[in-house]
Structure 1
Amino acid sequence: MPRRTLLLLTAALLAATLTGCADRTSASPEAVPGTDTGTGATPGTAQHVSDDPEQTLHLAEQLLIKSCMEKRGYEYWVEKRPAADGAARFPYVVDDPAWAARHGYGTDLYRARQQEALRDPNQRYFRSMPADRAPALVSALNGPEPKGLSARLPNGIQVTHSDQGCAAEAERTLYKDLPAWFRATRVTDSLGGMRVGLVLADKRYKAAVAPWARCMKAKGQPYPSPAEARAAATRPDRPWPHTKEVRLASAEADCARAGDLAAVAKSLDTEYRTELRRRYPGPTADLDRLKREALPRARAIVTRGR
């Protein structure tokens, strides 16, 4: 999941709770208002600035959201950055035998996140609110309606979002040019999906899949492609035992390493990443610039804790 998505997803998940749904990141069930469950620090106090710029930007955004929500009379707990799941970590083929031996395709991690979501303090806080106050909380976080920000994606779809609410206020404070930030993040997010599609459709990738499939068949796993192997093991309506999932994913990783599929996928991913940046130079350059310019502000926010 991209960095920006988490803070917007929070509001969507809060709204989803109205129908009994929840799916958030981990937090302690004993969390109390004002406690940061994701970083071990209390907002308003000096905090360690991570060496990872993305972590620093994320934490700064979260602290700004928390401060904004508290000014509006609500509680808010800092959310951790989501870890990449199996599909995001291995979009073409599982090629890490050690990871496969522990997690298979990552359904164990997905189930753990679902359990953690039940303990998420932001979700619990939302569920504790009277029904007539819940919509106001969502509006305070994510804005009253999806108007004010707009971006047209490379596939022609136009996406919109509110330029109000604490999420937008935090991004405006951190990145300054909120419309440019919105366009850059939405377009570059969509380019990631385009890149994966281009790699999977490339004849060089398909050629590398053929020996991989032969290797898999020799191991008793007759799947013609990594996508079909993953799909078989991760059907939500027909969950596999963890040991069976691990066995298939481990075979996939071994065969990816034994042949050249892993190397071909990595090379093509790099090639298409470069090509898409060349085809869409504006959004990618804007994103890089906005992050670079925001980083000193983010460090200052994290250092003072708000």
Structure 2
Amino acid sequence: MKLPLSADPPAFEIRYGITEEAARRKGYEIRKRTAPPDPSPLDALLKKMSPEAVKKWGETLGGPGGKEAPNVSVTMPNGDEVGAPTTGCDAEARTALWGSVEHWLLGQRFGSDFREGLISRAEKDPAMRALNVEWSQCMAAKSFADLESPAKAMDLAASFYEKGDETTAFTREVDLAIADAQCENDTDYVRKRRILEDRYLAAGMGGYETEIAATRELNRGALVRARTLLAS
């Protein structure tokens, strides 16, 4: 049975910048990244409940599911729309802290979506493409051909675990990560990439000064109200 989906912001992952020392010790840590999370006390409790009780718990927390359920959505800087239910305990708590579910969505999602959208634009910059080509050529010389970027190297490392035994997959992961680290060092990848990303982030912040100020104020107000509620 599916429980209500969380509208919490996704973690923004930087998929480059591995050092050779880290690569030799643990590769990309694919096993750690893909391992299922440890079960929580809530998971254990839900397993003891009947399907009907789990459904009632989910609806109490996150509101009823389905297309007809009360819902609001806001548009993020990258043009995507994100939504969240307006009924249930989660919605009540968000409204108590942020003033409305819409304000909560903006306060919690704007920053992560804003950065992600600008980084996506930076990745299309000709200078970024040229940097990735230089890195890719270095990797090809180390027998890792057809990789477009360090992020693609991480994806390839994850695919090693889809076939064969884990020990062999980890050995291949480490070899790939070492080559990546060496090529990032040889091409001065991290410094050059961050210069490009910072350029786009600075330009984006200049174009969204009003939205950024409003988001900061929303989160500042929510923090004040949270402290007040906790102290009462």
TM-score, with structure 2 as normaliser: 0.77
The alignment status of 1:230 with 2:158, answered yes or no, reads no
Instruction: Please give the per-residue CA displacement for 1:238-257, whole angstroms capped at 9, x wherever unaligned.
Output: 47611221221222122212
Counterpart residue identity of residue 276, structure 1: G
Moved more, 197-206 or 164-173: 164-173
| Structure 1 residues 102 and 196, CA gap change in structure 2 (3 angstroms) | farther
Letter in 2 for 1:140: T
Distance 1:10 1:196 in 2: 32
Q: Which of 2, 12, 23 does residue 5 from structure 2 map onto?
A: 12
Q: 2:74 maps to which residue?
A: 151
Residue aligned with 1:294, SS: helix
RMSD of aligned C-alpha atoms?
A: 3.2
Q: 1:12 to 1:155 in 2, by over 3 A?
A: same
Gaps of 5+ in 1: 1-8, 14-57, 59-81
Distance 2:79 2:116 in 1: 14
Count the aligned residue pairs: 222
Deviations 1:257-278 (A, max 9, x none): 2322211211222222222233
Please tell me whether the aligned partners of residues 78 and 117 of structure 2 are also in contact (alpha carbons under 8 angstroms): no
Partner of 1:52: none
Aligned residues of 1:152 and 1:159 also touching (Cα < 8 A): yes
Q: Which runs of 5+ in 2 are unaligned?
A: none
Change (3 A) 1:195 1:188: same
More helix by share: 2
Which of 89, 97, 100 is residue 13 of structure 2 equivalent to? Answer: 89
Secondary structure of 1:255's partner?
Answer: helix
Structure 1's 97 and 142: CA in aligned 2 closer, same or farther, altered over 3 A? Answer: farther
SS at match of 1:234: helix
1:129 to 49, 52, 70: 49
Going from structure 1 to structure 2, the CA distance change for 1:160 and 1:102 (only over 3 Å counts) comes to: same
Alpha-carbon distance change, 271 to 238 in structure 1, aligned in 2, over 3 angstroms: farther
Structure 1 pair 11–97 and aligned structure 2 pair: CA distance change class (3 A): farther
Residue 223 of structure 1: how far off its partner (Å) = 4.1
Instruction: Decide which structure has the larger Cα Rg and report it.
Output: 2
Identity in percent: 25
Report the TM-score, using the length of structure 1 for normalisation: 0.61
Relative to 1, partners in 2 of residues 1:289 and 1:97: Cα closer, same or farther, differing over 3 Å?
farther
Alignment match, 2:83: 160
